[in-house]
Amino acid sequence: MDSPAQYSYVHGVSDTPLRYQTIGRALDEAVRRWAGREAVVVRHQNVRMSWHELGARTEALAAGLLAMGLEPGDRVGVWAPNCIEWLLTQLATARAGLIQVNINPAYRVHELEYALNKVGCRALITASRFKSSDYIEMLRRLAPELDACVPGRLTAARLPRLEWLVRLGEDPTPGFLNFDAVATLAGAAQRQRLAALGEELQPDDPINIQFTSGTTGSPKGATLTHVNILNNGYFVGAAMRITEHDRLCIPVPLYHCFGMVMGNLSCLSHGATIVYPNDGFDPLLTLEAVAQERCTALFGVPTMFIAELEHPRFAQFDLSSLRTGIMAGAPCPMEVMKRVVHEMHMTEVTIAYGMTETSPVSFQSGTTDPLERRVSTVGRVHPHVEVKIVDESARMVPRGCRGELLTRGYSVMRGYWDDPERTAEAIDAAGWMHTGDLAVLDADGYCNIVGRVKDMVIRGGENIYPREVEEFLYTHPKVQDVSVFGVPDSKYGEELCAWVRLKPGAAADEDELKAWCRDRIAHYKVPRHVRFVDEFPMTVTGKIQKFVMRERMSTELGIGEQRSA
């Protein structure tokens, strides 16, 4: 490597300085600039608020939280699907210096107990139920003491730090305070305290904890600050060229960075209107929201866009207002991207890449990047972010070479809550966050994510990167979606397995796909096992859970973990 330009290192240089302010101050600024403009539309709750109204509701809720005895730095859990109360809680906790803890709506009793106790939540704001989950019943199982306690006085053996339970809705429930009642608790003293906190709170204060959904071990609580998520939301919006004249449809979950940072805070920092089409993803309701609210931007993971495009009533909706948006969370097949651009009018759609621990976005494509760039890469580095790609010895690799992606800058989390050991494993002494993602940086600074370090399959001494095989299988004319992973094998240590979703009306068998592979890719990359499926196991945010698939295949094949060195 003769010159620095040949190293796999990039730094997002920008004329726009970082916003060194709290989310509360950013909301104040939004209210001053866009007071009468529509801030949020929640279609399933029939809610519409201007920025002035959103600011006033946030202030009232924040003062009410202080009246409950909560102090800056206390943790407040939020366990609910997308709704106006989620947004109000996000803004009010930040305004009061409280740390919001995002609880996955899909969590069950064991996971909920772990999350609440891991970070010591003093309060939990919860929906009554969502889909098949009865949240109140689960909480009663965890804390039977609820039925006999006064709100705010919970003393539960299994939840020793939890004092307050606040429920959405109007039904009275023993041990719970109703959400709308929180604001009524505040008096002049709490409002004065809130005003004083506006001067006291610091931009580097932790403000949010998000649990990462790792494939092994207990979830880790990534701890993020005002500066982390406010700036990331701002620069995500800037990459889409969002202004106060835009309306962003957000069908992705708020408990994840995609919704609460890239969505809510992007709109907050640019004055755009937030539109929630439903409490959870529904392709028909999303299409209706875009058409009726004249949305100019739309978020989603590829499976969401596929579901919208394939909906029987898709052609009935006028989506001509759409211009931009973000597709993230998983690789996007070229044919899907072409349809999003041409049939959904999203000519300026962008691709984004990141992780919870980096607030989340590190790379994003531009609105004018060629379509090929927007599919084959995740764009270029974000402003004020550094990235390098290193080999197994932590040495930078040349441009065009594969290695682990490391990132550094304002966006890197404070650490994992109460977990210095795992924090030290993730963030090295020089401040680099080790993502665990394998990437290649080209001569123009575009990044291609080629797999996970831990996903690499070692078959008889050959290193195989599942992403490479997946990209090849997408070229088969009958393949709609595919996921490739390793399963244990007594002879080779590991063998490749491919789960395949065929396009509607298509038919194929295992031999056909293997024959397609044999003449085109190296023999050791041809999947030994092929299964045709209707769907993949996924997280709420649309990420494929390969570890679940691996477990199912191991059971089906009657094999155990016997990975060779």
- Taking the chain (565 residues) in runs of 10, the rounded mean pLDDT of each run is 74 97 98 98 98 98 98 98 98 98 89 94 97 94 96 97 98 97 98 97 98 67 98 98 98 95 98 98 98 98 91 98 92 86 97 95 96 92 98 95 96 97 96 94 94 79 81 90 89 89 95 88 89 88 82 87 33
CB 277, CB 43: distance < 8 Å: yes
> Hey, which residues does 403 pair with through a beta bridge?
439
What local confidence, expressed as pLDDT, does residue 9 receive? 98
Terminal alpha carbon distance of the chain: 31
CB 73, CB 81: distance < 8 Å: no
CB 458, CB 564: distance < 8 Å: yes
Instruction: Report d(CA 546, CA 487) in Å as an integer.
Output: 10
Q: Cβ-count burial of 179 within 10 angstroms (0-12 exposed, 13-18 middle, 19+ buried)?
A: buried
Q: Cβ-count burial of 555 within 10 angstroms (0-12 exposed, 13-18 middle, 19+ buried)?
A: exposed
- Helix, strand, coil percent content, the chain, rounded in steps of 5: 35, 25, 40
Superfamily classification of domain 462-557? ANL, C-terminal domain (3.30.300.30)
CB 275, CB 41: distance < 8 Å: yes
| Residues with Cβ within 8 Å of residue 52, at least 6 apart in sequence | 31, 35, 36
| Portions of the chain given CATH number 3.40.50.980 | 23-27+48-212
CB 248, CB 258: distance < 8 Å: no
What local confidence, expressed as pLDDT, does residue 167 receive? 98
Q: In Å, how far from its chain's centre is CA 191?
A: 33
What local confidence, expressed as pLDDT, does residue 523 receive? 83
| Residues with Cβ within 8 Å of residue 240, at least 6 apart in sequence | 266, 297, 324, 325, 326, 348, 350, 367
Q: DSSP state, 6?
A: G
What local confidence, expressed as pLDDT, does residue 540 receive? 63
| Portions of the chain given CATH number 3.30.300.30 | 462-557
What local confidence, expressed as pLDDT, does residue 218 receive? 75
What local confidence, expressed as pLDDT, does residue 541 receive? 62
Nearest C-alpha neighbor of 107 from the set 84, 83, 77, 151: 77
Give alpha helix (H) positions in 97-134: 109-119
CATH class of 23-27+48-212: alpha beta
What local confidence, expressed as pLDDT, does residue 162 receive? 98
Q: Which residue has the tokens 């063998």?
A: 495
Nearest C-alpha neighbor of 63 from the set 194, 168, 179: 194
Q: Which residue has the tokens 């009246």?
A: 67
Per-residue HEC secondary structure of 444-462 comes to CCCEEEEEEHHHCEEECCE
What local confidence, expressed as pLDDT, does residue 95 receive? 98
Q: 3-state DSSP call for residue 300?
A: strand
Reported pTM: 0.86
